Amino acid sequence: MEDSEILDLYWQRDEQAIWQTRQVYGGYCFSIAASILGNDWDAEEVVADTWVKAWNSIPPHRPAYFKQYLAKITRNLAINVQLSRDTQKRGNGQVTLALEELHECIPSWETAEGHLEEAELKGAISRFLRTQPRREQGIFLRRYFYLESVREIARRYGLREANVLQILSRTRRRLKGYLAKEGYTL
């Protein structure tokens, strides 16, 4: 079933929308949640919550890119679960580590002005990533969107972990310079 047909089911408030979404995107959303959480049970819970959140947000929202919309919901829910876990353990999991790495090149949104600039900043980051070689784009997204470990990324790309760390460092440095030229300050 096509995305537009699934979205029509949501708009009609037909519960088949959830079933169809699960059939088409269940594995995709599960892989996102599992890569962040490292736990199948929690990943399944996050995916179930994704369906609820999609049901509650469509309508009034009709996403132009349904797959990416679901990915964002799943990712955000999984990050919240992992951050809660990290806080409880006072540990330093992948989510915390990845967010700390990005902190050096992305401005804080903690101010009122920062919240207003958030959408513009997301656009600037997307424009920057489109200028990068495909491999660097993929590594950056795997680390900072999908929150994969450096070890997993290295295995996926056939690289050593040190190479992945070096690529991430260079890309963050270029991103910081790009954002500075765009007028963003830390």
Q: What is the mean pLDDT of each run of 10 residues along the chain (186 residues)?
A: 94 94 96 90 94 93 92 91 66 59 62 56 86 94 87 94 95 91 76
Both tokens of residue 61? 């929202």
8 A C-beta contact, residue 78 and residue 155:
no
Alpha-carbon distance of 118 to 115, in angstroms, equals 5
8 A C-beta contact, residue 93 and residue 86:
yes
Domains 3-91 and 95-181 share a fold: no
The CATH number of the domain covering residues in 95-181? 1.10.10
Residue 130, CA atoms < 13 Å, CB-side half-sphere? 6
In the prediction, which pLDDT does 96 show?
60
The CATH number of the domain covering residues in 3-91? 1.10.1740.10
Per residue, the 3-state secondary structure of 31-94, as one string, reads HHHHHHHCCHHHHHHHHHHHHHHHHHHCCCCCCCCHHHHHHHHHHHHHHHHHHHHHHHHCCCCH
> What residue ranges do the domains of the chain occupy?
3-91, 95-181
Both tokens of residue 54? 């999609």
In the prediction, which pLDDT does 90 show?
44
8 A C-beta contact, residue 94 and residue 173:
no
In the prediction, which pLDDT does 94 show?
61
Which H/E stretch holds residue 96?
Answer: helix 94-103
In the prediction, which pLDDT does 91 show?
43
